[in-house]
Amino acid sequence: MSFNLASFVPRQRTHTPRVIAVRLRAGTTLSSGRTCGETDREVHYIPTPEAVNTTGTTTALCETVLHRGDLEFVEGHRGVPCTSCFLRYLNPLTSVQVPRQRNGRVW
């Protein structure tokens, strides 16, 4: 009797994340004319379907409009997350009420 070892090895499951983490590039000029500093570089989450389109703007979960040319992808769990984005990301898992973005920023 022979055994196929491949049948005992757990298979890798591939999944597409619901969101992709992005933040503004350092040195980007904001709409207010200021240069993007570290406090402006919070990590926003954009829905995966919107990440496919590479032109124009995208809207984060917190409803902040971001210009694609000004963004960089964030790998792993780096950077300070946008609180509204983070809570909206967790909302399907919890019953936490999600506050609206205070200033409705547009970059």
Angle, CA 16 vertex, CA 7 and CA 56 arms, to 5°: 160
State the first-to-last Cα distance of the chain, in angstroms, to the nearest integer. 66
Q: What is the pLDDT of residue 5?
A: 45
- pLDDT reported for residue 1: 47
* Per-residue confidence (pLDDT) for residue 44, from 0 to 100: 92
Which pLDDT belongs to residue 32?
82
**What does the pLDDT look like over 66-77, one tens digit per residue?**
888 888 989 877
pLDDT at 78: 83
Give the pLDDT confidence of 10-40 residue by residue, as tens digits. Answer: 555 555 567 889 998 988 888 788 888 888 8
* Sheet strand arrangement including 44-47: 44-47, 19-24, 71-73
pLDDT tens track for 49-106: 776 676 788 888 888 888 888 889 898 778 889 988 888 888 765 555 655 555 555 5
